[in-house]
A and B are shown apart, each in its own frame.
Chain A
Amino acid sequence: MCLGIPGELVELPDDDTDLALVTVSGVRRKVNVGLLRGEEELAVGDWILIHVGFALAKIDEEEAASALRVLHQLGPAYDQELQDFATSDVG
């Protein structure tokens, strides 16, 4: 089961309902963070993965940045190779 959306924590639960306030592009939703209790330390500003009204995981921003870095590195390196190849003189 898959539909999971990243959202930003704007308010932590203030009672025992486990309901936190999360925002997705300015749209605010109450999300139950009970599945992260004991798993993660949550703070306002953290990003979490929302699935059917529950937080399933905290998004690891470093991992996300690292994943993107790897992907972006592929591009320029390849283009550089292409450029070098095109301009190299094998004569």
Chain B
Amino acid sequence: MRFVDEFRDPETARHLAREIAALCEPGRRYAFMEVCGGHTHTIYKHGLEDHLPENVRLVHGPGCPVCVLPMGRVDDAIAIAEHDDVIMTAFGDMMRVPGGRGSFFDAKAAGADIRMVYSPLDALKIARNHPDKRVVFMAIGFETTAPSTAMTVLRARAEGLENFAVFANHVTIIPAIKAILDSPDLRLDGFLGPGHVSTVIGCRPYEFIARDHGKPLVVAGFEPLDILASVHRLMRQLAEVRCEVENQYSRVVPWDGNRRALEVIGQVMELRPWFEWRGLGFISHSAMALRSEFAAYDAERIFDVPGVRVADPKACQCGEVLKGVLEPWECKVFGTACTPETPIGTCMVSSEGACAAYYNFGRFSRSRVREATLLADPVVRR
């Protein structure tokens, strides 16, 4: 696959790994936060950490929109879905997120019409094909996905569709990063910036991180070489005592973002005064709702949502994992009460969640495994 395979080349990875190791100051430990859930997934899926020296650690951040969805919002969505004439549509990642009373999957087994879609346009198509039903799209995601939801609402309006609505749960990335920067426990040397969010918002919004907090940030792509290259750039900045925002993902991210996408978000949505984030608490101006002109497409206005706040179980440490304060295995309920089959928290459910990624991909002892794969080498191409 073009623009994919070239960025997965193991030879180049080995060279980059040596460069990174060469930039390490003896005795110093480095911790870089990769904000985006997509980065977490790539790192584990490709076993990227095998290319990093022991003293360079990648800390997983809160950039997973499924992970930061509070249980109460899941309950609200299920309440909507339970109406007889409603078809609820959602991305696959949402299906097993546990709410106060269970997940979409559970609600579906109990009779609610909940369907998995790959695009808000799929939901629109279902609305066209089922004029007797009310189709609701569970809209989640950061600024990457909000423009697509907004475009879909505009299309619904243009077509005069009366049975399509959106349950808006879009959140914005900067407040999440601010929550990290304001966290007293975290000692980070820099950030890997969210690549696809940046195609929309550009790189300027991160400048305050370098300027006011003295942490370099490199906007990183999602192939494993992108991430390694970004770590390398961060290491170079530290070695050269620079502190800047860099754009490693320049093949796709424009420095000024996508003006049309930002326009479309602004046309259809507005910032909520505050929103609850799982694990991070209430954050002001951090999430989007549909503007009143689009009330006819706003599920929150059309339906009576319970709006009850459901507290995270006391034992759940998703918040600390999301902030990078805890590694997944350090969570008290990791692997016991909380497993991918029996998730307590969102970090274990989303395929971008740090706990799910670690459990499903990284759950092995590195030293033992190195021996095993060396023994199995006759098959492996060097």
A interface, CB within 8 angstroms of B: 1-6, 8, 24-25, 32, 34-39, 47, 49, 51-54, 56-57, 59-61, 63-64, 67-68, 70-72, 74-75, 78-79
Contacts and interface: CB of A to CB of B under 8 A. Distances in A.
A37 B197 CA distance: 19
B15 A75 contact: yes
Contact of B151 (A5, A54, A64): A54
A32 B352 CA distance: 25
B122 A39 contact: no
Interface residues of B, number: 55
Q: Among B196, B200, B254, find the residue whose CB has the most chain A CB atoms closer than 10 A.
A: B196
Given A34-B151, A78-B15, A2 B250 contact: no
Nearest to B221: A67
Given A39-B260, A56-B200, A6 B1 contact: yes
A6 B6 CA distance: 12
Contact of B119 (A24, A39, A53, A75): A53
| In the complex, the 4 A-B pairs of residues with the closest C-beta atoms, listed nearest first | A2-B38, A53-B119, A75-B15, A1-B141
23 contacts: A1-B37, A1-B65, A1-B141, A2-B36, A2-B222, A36-B258, A38-B259, A39-B259, A39-B260, A51-B145, A52-B120, A52-B148, A53-B121, A54-B119, A54-B121, A57-B199, A60-B250, A64-B3, A67-B229, A67-B250, A71-B225, A71-B229, A79-B15
Nearest to B197: A1
Contacts of A38: 259-260
B196 A74 contact: no
Nearest to B223: A6
Chain B interface secondary structure, helix, strand, loop or mixed? Answer: helix
A54 B36 contact: no
A80 B293 CA distance: 64
Contact of A2 (B14, B39, B151, B259): B39
Contacts of A78: 15, 18-19
B16 A74 contact: yes
Interface in B1-16: 1-4, 6-7, 11-12, 14-16
Chain A interface secondary structure, helix, strand, loop or mixed? Answer: mixed
B196 A2 contact: yes
Nearest to A74: B15
Contacts of B2: 6, 8, 47
Contacts of A35: 147-148, 151, 258, 260-261, 264
Contacts of A75: 11-12, 14-15
A5 B252 CA distance: 11
B18 to A, nearest CB: 6
B382 interface: no
Contacts of B261: 35, 56
B118 to A, nearest CB: 7
Contact of A1 (B15, B145, B251): B145
Contact of A57 (B14, B36, B254): B254
A53 B123 CA distance: 11
Given A2-B222, A36-B260, A54-B147, 8 more contacts: A4-B222, A35-B151, A53-B120, A53-B121, A53-B148, A57-B253, A63-B251, A79-B15
A53 B147 CA distance: 11
Contacts of A71: 12, 15-16, 225, 229
A49 to B, nearest CB: 5
B334 interface: no
